[in-house]
Chain A
């Protein structure tokens, strides 16, 4: 039996009273992320702790180890798949006091930050020194870099600059024993052996706790601009992307939204969308003015050749503002507003590029089978990091979570969608991490490689204290 008061006292001794709470009203705040999983079950932690230094993190981990209490690392809590949820209750470790930008080095094009730093602050700290940090998720204002490194992370600039993984040069990690290790360095290729960074990137807090990282920054492109095109379907939209790639375009933003997603993203601006648009693509380019103009002109030509028609400028602008939420677009997010009536959750899967349309059609048919004919669904696709080639498709499925039967149906629907993706030679996508939502099928997909992963988990976390029971690992 867990001795709660002993645990609380030990944690207070490490970080002080202000940063520890076992009040129910606090614990409930840390018990749910975006996913419907968080509503369907109880993931309320026993205690919240918010350390202020790396050493304090290590001390907390040691206590958890000694007392055999699971510890769930929590950044912004913005993840979408139930990733930081306290499956076995225990401790939630809030990382947001480790929020210092330690070094911006424009000469070497690096920035070093603590893992609890909010991404927007990294972005702005880089800009202050004239360099550009390229990982910019829609949740930039509220999510941490530690969270992004732990569940992949897609950037609005990802088509040119890649995933957040591509930005990492070095990391400091606290292992489950409390031991601190450093991997990588300031120079590129600081990884003389295996790329050990990959052990912790995308590990969703299950193998170690990231406390610091050195990231790549880039020379700041002098200009950027965007256009958007509407297409009759996914296939033509993807063909246009491929042609643009063949033509040598290297845009930084490639976002594909179906009609429903676009409507959702226009919630605040109320910008009307032309009737004929079924799939729309937002292309953004950066560089010198000639490069930007040429890129967008060539993309426009490729899009038209595929039957695309240019969308009005105000759609492009509203679309961009609503995914580029930052200091100047603080009031532009549509997230909360578009989530009252129904609560969408995601199916986060990857299928081979040529089968995106087929998978989307399957989703439509399945929707009918489930009787969800009057509910609009959203699909969106993201390009990067191999230029304007889309790589990942999501389906947003709006459920009325007040109705238990609907929630149950969602779980059945989700299973059918994931299984179909695997049958099509696809994959569970790591784009939002697996968390609780996508992990039930991970063993099926990995086969015997799953054993290697669980062996690694046992090696790195013998007492299974790190995010116990999450991401497919045992309770």
Chain B
């Protein structure tokens, strides 16, 4: 509980003002409907946990875990309430409170198999080793690929590799598949996340890589922000997200891109946008394609609504996550766009499922997959 005390001021401010600005855009509230599910509710819980009026029990865990960690409430509030919510998840986890099964699975699977999908890690390693860049012993960049890309969206990897190769980028790929730890971290399993952070850091050290390229928004946030907290150490590597990297390639004319006549809208992944401040690079890439008209959704950039997949929500509450994605797809449809593009494999999957659930004709692509078709 001590860990929560540092948020007492924020909880008290919320208990006092009760403004509710965090509520209407909260993906968890939009699905689950009681005020408790918005940050306002979760901060109320925190306040009463500290006061001793509530205990860390199953009902509290159910409410607290229903959070995609999207951070939209932070923007409304002024306090980073999502940090406090994350801390509550960690405390609930550490105290051994029965946390909802779907979220818990993310942790147990990572602990057992080394990845949140429970796939045999050798399978991932075999896949990586099949890529020629894994045989290189030196290169300018090391491309770190995440579990969702490897085990669920391997086409995405194909697209990214095609672009990097076309642009003549010097990069190599690790032969080992190690989860960055983000899924476990977001469901409160800090110990396992720390373990993953150590493993990934060791991997980079062994490879003597200090220039890391990442194209999963979740891995990126983890590597660029959370490792410093988890390992209590300064950043050791230069981490670049593929969006910024590709934007430079485009800007430097390193890629020949065919025109595309289409109206496109872009969904900001929370981990990449709100949490890491990368808003413009993907937009610049898309706008640079001849014939593309880039249009914005009503809620974009810092205010972008969440796709519903983050924070273990997709594992914990699959149907709700997909329903949230469907709402985001509807928002995209309202722009008149025919393609909804994003820059996170997790968002991509969830948005595709969301679109399918409402029979939307919207085509859902990642920046990489769209670009790969045009180079």
A positions within 8 Å CB-CB of B: 18-19, 21, 23-26, 28-30, 32-34, 39, 48, 50, 76-78, 94, 97, 118, 120, 139, 141-143, 267-268, 325, 327, 330-331, 333-337, 339-340, 343, 401-402
Which of A21, A34, A401 is within 8 Å of B18, CB to CB? A34
Which of B18, B48, B299 is within 8 Å of A33, CB to CB? B18
Q: Please judge, given known A-B contacts A50-B34, A331-B302, whether A25 and B54 are in contact too, CB under 8 Å.
A: yes
Known: A28-B53, A32-B44. 10 other contacts (CB 8 A): A18-B32, A21-B34, A24-B59, A77-B18, A78-B20, A327-B299, A331-B75, A331-B302, A339-B17, A340-B13
Please indicate which of the listed interface residues B14, B25, B34 has the most CB atoms of chain A within 10 Å of its own CB.
Answer: B34
Which of B17, B33, B75 is within 8 Å of A330, CB to CB? B75
- The residues of B that contact A331 with a CB separation of less than 8 Å are 75-76, 78, 302-303
What are the 5 tightest A-B residue pairs by CB atom distance, in nearest-first order? A142-B20, A337-B78, A343-B16, A29-B41, A339-B13
B10 at the interface (CB under 8 A from A): yes
Closest to A74 in B: B35
- The residues of A that contact B280 with a CB separation of less than 8 Å are none
**Interface size bucket, B side?**
35 or more
B20 near A139: Cβ-Cβ < 8 Å:
yes
A330 near B16: Cβ-Cβ < 8 Å:
no
A227 shortest CB reach to chain B, Å: 27
A335 near B35: Cβ-Cβ < 8 Å:
no
A-facing residues in B67-102 (Cβ within 8 Å): 75-79
Closest to A140 in B: B21
B258 shortest CB reach to chain A, Å: 36
A-facing residues in B292-313 (Cβ within 8 Å): 298-299, 302-303
B106 at the interface (CB under 8 A from A): no
B352 at the interface (CB under 8 A from A): no
Q: Determine the distance from Cα of A334 to Cα of B45 in the docked complex, in whole angstroms.
A: 22
B17 near A94: Cβ-Cβ < 8 Å:
no
A457 shortest CB reach to chain B, Å: 27
B129 shortest CB reach to chain A, Å: 46
- The residues of A that contact B35 with a CB separation of less than 8 Å are 26, 29-30, 77, 94
Say what secondary structure dominates the interface of chain B.
helix
Which of B21, B24, B48 is within 8 Å of A335, CB to CB? B21
B23 at the interface (CB under 8 A from A): yes
| Residue contacts A-B, CB under 8 angstroms, 15 given | A21-B36, A26-B36, A34-B17, A48-B34, A78-B20, A142-B24, A331-B76, A331-B302, A333-B76, A336-B77, A336-B78, A340-B10, A340-B12, A343-B12, A402-B12
B165 shortest CB reach to chain A, Å: 41
Closest to B48 in A: A28
B270 shortest CB reach to chain A, Å: 15
The proximity string for B residues 242-269 relative to A, scoring 1 for CB distances below 8 Å and 0 otherwise, is 0000000000000000000000000000
B60 at the interface (CB under 8 A from A): yes
Q: Determine the distance from Cα of A32 to Cα of B78 in the docked complex, in whole angstroms.
A: 20
A76 near B20: Cβ-Cβ < 8 Å:
yes
Q: Determine the distance from Cα of A201 to Cα of B188 in the docked complex, in whole angstroms.
A: 47
Q: Please judge, given known A-B contacts A141-B24, A333-B21, whether A29 and B13 are in contact too, CB under 8 Å.
A: no
B15 near A39: Cβ-Cβ < 8 Å:
yes
- The residues of A that contact B44 with a CB separation of less than 8 Å are 25, 28-29, 32
B63 at the interface (CB under 8 A from A): yes
A116 shortest CB reach to chain B, Å: 12
A445 shortest CB reach to chain B, Å: 27
The proximity string for B residues 1-32 relative to A, scoring 1 for CB distances below 8 Å and 0 otherwise, is 00000000110111111111101110000001
A142 near B19: Cβ-Cβ < 8 Å:
yes
Q: Determine the distance from Cα of A161 to Cα of B80 in the docked complex, in whole angstroms.
A: 37
- The residues of A that contact B328 with a CB separation of less than 8 Å are none
Closest to A325 in B: B21
- The residues of A that contact B48 with a CB separation of less than 8 Å are 25, 28
Closest to A344 in B: B16
Closest to B76 in A: A330
A25 near B15: Cβ-Cβ < 8 Å:
no
B40 at the interface (CB under 8 A from A): yes
Closest to A92 in B: B35
Q: Please judge, given known A-B contacts A29-B44, A330-B75, whether A142 and B63 are in contact too, CB under 8 Å.
A: no
A268 near B15: Cβ-Cβ < 8 Å:
no
Q: Determine the distance from Cα of A285 to Cα of B14 in the docked complex, in whole angstroms.
A: 34
A77 near B76: Cβ-Cβ < 8 Å:
no
- The residues of A that contact B34 with a CB separation of less than 8 Å are 21, 26, 29, 48, 50, 94
- The residues of B that contact A330 with a CB separation of less than 8 Å are 21, 25, 75-76, 303
Q: Please judge, given known A-B contacts A34-B17, A139-B20, A141-B21, whether A25 and B10 are in contact too, CB under 8 Å.
A: no
Q: Determine the distance from Cα of A337 to Cα of B13 in the docked complex, in whole angstroms.
A: 8
Please indicate which of the listed interface residues A29, A120, A139, A143 has the most CB atoms of chain B within 10 Å of its own CB.
Answer: A29
- The residues of B that contact A142 with a CB separation of less than 8 Å are 19-21, 23-24
B40 near A29: Cβ-Cβ < 8 Å:
yes
B12 near A143: Cβ-Cβ < 8 Å:
no
- The residues of A that contact B299 with a CB separation of less than 8 Å are 327
A404 shortest CB reach to chain B, Å: 14
Q: Please judge, given known A-B contacts A25-B59, A28-B53, A142-B24, whether A268 and B36 are in contact too, CB under 8 Å.
A: no
B18 near A337: Cβ-Cβ < 8 Å:
no
- The residues of B that contact A33 with a CB separation of less than 8 Å are 18
Q: Determine the distance from Cα of A330 to Cα of B78 in the docked complex, in whole angstroms.
A: 10
Closest to A331 in B: B75
A25 shortest CB reach to chain B, Å: 5
B243 shortest CB reach to chain A, Å: 23
B59 near A334: Cβ-Cβ < 8 Å:
no
Q: Determine the distance from Cα of A18 to Cα of B77 in the docked complex, in whole angstroms.
A: 27
Q: Please judge, given known A-B contacts A33-B18, A340-B13, whether A334 and B33 are in contact too, CB under 8 Å.
A: no
B20 near A336: Cβ-Cβ < 8 Å:
no
- The residues of B that contact A19 with a CB separation of less than 8 Å are 33
Q: Determine the distance from Cα of A28 to Cα of B63 in the docked complex, in whole angstroms.
A: 13
A357 shortest CB reach to chain B, Å: 29
Q: Determine the distance from Cα of A396 to Cα of B298 in the docked complex, in whole angstroms.
A: 36
Q: Please judge, given known A-B contacts A26-B36, A142-B23, A330-B303, whether A78 and B18 are in contact too, CB under 8 Å.
A: yes
B19 near A139: Cβ-Cβ < 8 Å:
yes
Q: Determine the distance from Cα of A139 to Cα of B22 in the docked complex, in whole angstroms.
A: 11
A303 shortest CB reach to chain B, Å: 31
Which of A28, A34, A50 is within 8 Å of B54, CB to CB? A28
B19 near A334: Cβ-Cβ < 8 Å:
no
- The residues of B that contact A141 with a CB separation of less than 8 Å are 20-21, 24, 76
Which of B16, B33, B60, B79 is within 8 Å of A97, CB to CB? B33
Q: Determine the distance from Cα of A337 to Cα of B76 in the docked complex, in whole angstroms.
A: 11
